[in-house]
């Protein structure tokens, strides 16, 4: 019998579990136990927070890879290919290896139902175990305490910036949300607190757990030009494009906390190999400046505003924006309204979970238009800019993924026309 393709597996997994989100460790933990995945020889670092998780993991991954240290990284969601979620030594793993992992999970789970995300988390752990990586870097999908990756007792953890997001699952204020995020910490193990303005419940939670808190602004310090303090490490650095210093510093502190080496030369070399797709990604198409960012909550939009302010000034900015229906769209738009001259708001991005652009258009003070499809909105935006100014594509991962794909097709079409 022919093995199912990765595409077939993913289509099936999307339909299996009755809910997309089903927080809790029992089901996933039991399957992991059957697969002997709960105890690993790899050093594990788990990352939770509202914003900056993927960037922090990517920075640690680059720093380890630069030194030839084998590492696995599990992040979510993906932009273009599912394989982006499971990487070894900086490279996406092959379809065949993920399929083998899915087959092993399927054989072990019996009657236990697993969500799409849980299957992916277990597959990552299976792959990392099979390949014998020295480090495994795990990004929390939602929350922390009850997220699937928390079945593993991490050797160190990172809590990035915390804000309001997923309130229906995690709580309606940052203090409550912070408690859920801190659930990844372990007694006697280091936990890096990346944000100097972290909610007070972070310190309270870590004290209750008995974790060794490594706080930004106390245990270590950073500026745009310098990292200093922790483990007597002080070195100059140049933060890569798309990376926020807070997240870069947290990545360095976490690796130092588990005994890895980081210095100025390693950081400089790692930064050259780092590529953050969809994180304040600044590129150009012909003479048009293009920025793409998966800013999908108000705090991320404030960071995007700061990034745009640091870029060269342009006379006209047109945005293509779409986001999920559970996001605080009004505050997201307010954070960037002063940077954007016109808003293009497409239908159909994110499927049933997508926010209706008919609602969004009411928040943009009349300088916006609703479109039936993403491509229609993009074509209008490019035509309105007429070859100059800035195109901003932001919101959900679905939005930025559509932007990457559409701009790639546009570039290929132009090259083909010239070649022909």
What CATH number has the domain bearing residue 303? 3.90.190.20
CB-based burial, 177-216: b 16+ in 10 Å, e otherwise: bbbbbbbbbbeebbbbbbbeebbebbeebbeebebbbbbb
pLDDT < 50 stretches in the chain: 166, 168-169, 171, 412-420
Are 197 and 68 in a shared domain? Answer: yes
Are 291 and 261 in a shared domain? Answer: no
Q: How many CB atoms lie within 10 A of CB 19?
A: 8
Are 55 and 144 in a shared domain? Answer: yes
- pLDDT digit string (tens) for 32-88? 999 999 999 999 999 999 889 999 999 999 999 999 999 999 999 999 999 999 999
What pLDDT sits at residue 149? 95
d(C-alpha 166, C-alpha 172), whole Å: 9
Are 135 and 268 in a shared domain? Answer: yes
**Residue 117 within any structural domain of the chain:** yes
What pLDDT sits at residue 418? 34
Asked whether 57 and 139 are in contact (CB, 8 A), the reply is: yes
Are 225 and 292 in a shared domain? Answer: no
Are 249 and 320 in a shared domain? Answer: no
Residue 247: give the domain boundaries. Answer: 6-273
Q: How many domains does the chain have?
A: 2
Q: Would you say the C-alpha torsion 400, 405, 409, 411 has a positive or negative sign?
A: positive
Q: Which of 273, 296, 322 is the last residue of a domain?
A: 273
Q: Which of 239, 254, 273 is the last residue of a domain?
A: 273
The average confidence (pLDDT) of the chain is: 90
Cα separation values, 375 from 290, 371, 399, Å: 16, 9, 11
Q: Give pTM, 2 decimals.
A: 0.90
Are 10 and 51 in a shared domain? Answer: yes
**Residue 1 within any structural domain of the chain:** no
Are 200 and 329 in a shared domain? Answer: no
What pLDDT sits at residue 411? 57
What pLDDT sits at residue 375? 94
């Amino acid at each position: 019998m022919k093995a199912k393709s990765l595409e077939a597996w993913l289509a099936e997994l999307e339909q299996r579990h009755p809910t997309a989100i089903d927080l809790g460790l029992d089901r996933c933990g039991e399957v992991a136990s059957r697969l002997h995945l709960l105890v690993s020889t790899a050093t594990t670092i788990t990352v939770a927070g509202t914003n900056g998780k993927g960037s922090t993991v990517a920075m640690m991954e680059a720093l380890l890879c630069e030194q030839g240290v084998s590492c696995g990284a599990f992040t979510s969601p993906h932009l273009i290919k599912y394989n982006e979620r499971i990487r070894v030594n900086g490279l996406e793993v092959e379809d065949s290896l993920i399929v083998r992992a899915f087959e092993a999970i399927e054989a072990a789970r019996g009657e236990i139902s697993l969500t799409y995300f849980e299957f992916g988390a277990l597959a990552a752990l299976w792959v990392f175990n099979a390949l014998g990586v020295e480090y495994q870097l795990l990004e929390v999908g939602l929350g922390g305490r009850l997220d699937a990756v928390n079945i593993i007792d991490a050797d160190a953890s990172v809590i990035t910036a915390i804000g309001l997001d997923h309130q229906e699952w995690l709580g309606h204020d940052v203090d409550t949300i912070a408690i859920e995020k801190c659930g990844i910490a372990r007694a006697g193990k280091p936990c890096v607190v990346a944000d100097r303005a972290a909610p007070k419940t972070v310190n309270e939670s870590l004290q209750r757990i008995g974790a060794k808190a490594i706080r930004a602004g106390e245990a270590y310090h950073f500026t745009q030009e310098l990292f200093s303090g922790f483990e007597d490490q002080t070195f100059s650095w140049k933060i890569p494009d798309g990376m926020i210093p807070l997240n870069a510093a947290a990545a360095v502190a976490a690796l130092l906390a588990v005994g890895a080496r980081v210095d100025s030369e390693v950081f400089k070399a790692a930064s050259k190999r780092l590529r953050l797709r969809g994180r304040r990604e600044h590129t150009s198409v012909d003479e048009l400046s293009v920025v793409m960012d998966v800013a999908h909550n108000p705090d991320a939009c404030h960071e995007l505003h700061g990034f745009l302010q640091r870029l060269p000034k342009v006379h006209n900015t047109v945005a293509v924006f779409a986001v999920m229906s559970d996001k605080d769209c009004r505050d997201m738009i307010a954070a960037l309204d002063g940077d954007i001259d016109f808003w293009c708001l497409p239908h159909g991005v994110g499927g049933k979970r997508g926010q209706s652009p008919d609602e969004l258009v009411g928040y943009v003070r009349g300088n916006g238009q609703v479109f039936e499809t993403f491509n229609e909105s993009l074509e209008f935006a490019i035509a309105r800019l007429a070859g100059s100014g800035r195109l901003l594509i932001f919101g959900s991962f679905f939005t930025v993924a559509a932007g990457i794909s559409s701009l790639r097709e546009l570039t290929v079409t132009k090259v083909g026309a010239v070649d022909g």
